[in-house]
Structure 1
């Protein structure tokens, strides 16, 4: 299919972002919010579809931002994408922030801002890692060069290029640093046989 209909979304930052690629036209919506993405995402996606005059059944695939970024936000988007893909019988395509940056620079170093004056750094084909923002090499392309609208549109664009690939893996969160939350102290219920 030359012009797939792709619904993309991302909640890895302090926002709910959505893009709809339909009939070769891209529309985007960014709702800035620090909390409440889980409750906001699905109604927002329904509004994006309704504004285009289409429904869930018109989608060819889902595109989803998989991080790095906010742990809870990433889990919200990835689980929503997996559930929608399963329920609709369509593929879901995971797209990292590094994939988004690769559209601007296929070979150089890439960085994505992280909390506490740090950055997620990927140097060429090495695995991404967390570094101090001061340790990001000069000339590194950073996600700050793109607006939120450009980022979500790129997620939709990448998903449109990948959705028909055979053996497409399910979207998975890209976690580079350990979670800030402490593990539960209780062991949970004990099952008796």
Structure 2
């Protein structure tokens, strides 16, 4: 199976190519995100792997939660490529991808959601224990049991307000490599969707806040 994976939900943008179990990846840290980075690196990665778009069997993308702009970028790119090639598309949860990328048995995942909120979820051996939610850091609930590791940039931004763990890894981000590895077996089982059905998972329902709401959350005009 040849699978293209895209992950742009955070400032760390990445693309990966699954080639029958071998994974190639390109990544860049872009504080403001960049739609100009994505497609050129998709084509460069395909060239590196020695395959063309027409040899792909599916496309996966980091579906969220995460940056609204980033989620739309990955979903739109995946849909656009899939339409032209009539390929199945599969969205992979950003927090699940981060947990997988961590390699931890028990991963409590937390990403900075801006507006004084975080996206959190918990996974044990890849099984979702706490479903992705958005909440103020002080309201984030810790899973029961010991051995949990805090993963994600939420711990860099709000570490004093979040549940305490013996160890945290705030440098971790979701990766296209993880998206590819999670998506490959599911696409092989026929779980891919038509391009028109592949949508981002925003979690936060309201994208835009009024000035009054931003100020109430401690933001700026």
Please state which band the TM-score falls in when normalised by the shorter chain.
0.7 to 0.9
In 2, distance between residues paired with 1:32 and 1:142?
18
Name which of structure 1's ranges 68-77 and 133-142 shifts more when overlaid on structure 2.
Answer: 133-142
1-structure distance, mates of 2:38, 2:84: 17
Q: Measure, in 1, the Cα distance between the counterparts of 2:107 and 2:11.
A: 27
Structure 1 counterpart of 2:179, from 155, 160, 182: 155
Q: State the partner residue of 1:179.
A: 207
Task: Give the distance between the partners of 1:36 and 1:127, measured in 2 at CA.
Answer: 26
CA contact 1:97–1:112 (8 Å) conserved in 2? no
Is 2:94 aligned against 1:77? Answer: no
Gaps of 5+ in 1: 183-193
1:96 aligned onto 2:93:
yes
Q: Distance in 1 between matches of 2:107 and 2:6?
A: 26
Q: TM-score, normalised by structure 1?
A: 0.77
The alpha carbon displacement at 1:163 in A equals: 1.0
Q: Which residue of 2 aligns with 1:135?
A: 139
The CA distance in 2 between the partners of 1:14 and 1:102, in whole Å, is 17
Q: Could you say if the C-alpha distance between residues 72 and 136 of structure 1 is closer, same or farther in structure 2, counting changes exceeding 3 Å?
A: same
Partner Cα separation in structure 1 for residue 198 and residue 110 of structure 2:
21
Q: For 1:116-149, what per-residue CA distance to the aligned partner results, in whole angstroms no more than 9, with x for missing partners?
A: 443112365665321222333444643354744x
Bigger proportion of residues as strand:
2
Partner of 2:28: 31
Counterpart position of 2:160: none
RMSD: 2.7
The count of residues paired between Structure 1 and Structure 2 equals 178
Match of 1:46 in 2: 43
Q: Contact between 1:120 and 1:130, CA under 8 Å: does it hold in 2?
A: yes
Relative to the length of structure 2, the TM-score reads 0.68
Question: Are the equivalent residues in 1 in contact too, given 2:93–2:201 (CA < 8 A)?
Answer: yes
Gap change, CA 1:161 and 1:60, over 3 Å in 2: same
Deviation at 1:76, TM superposition (A): 1.0
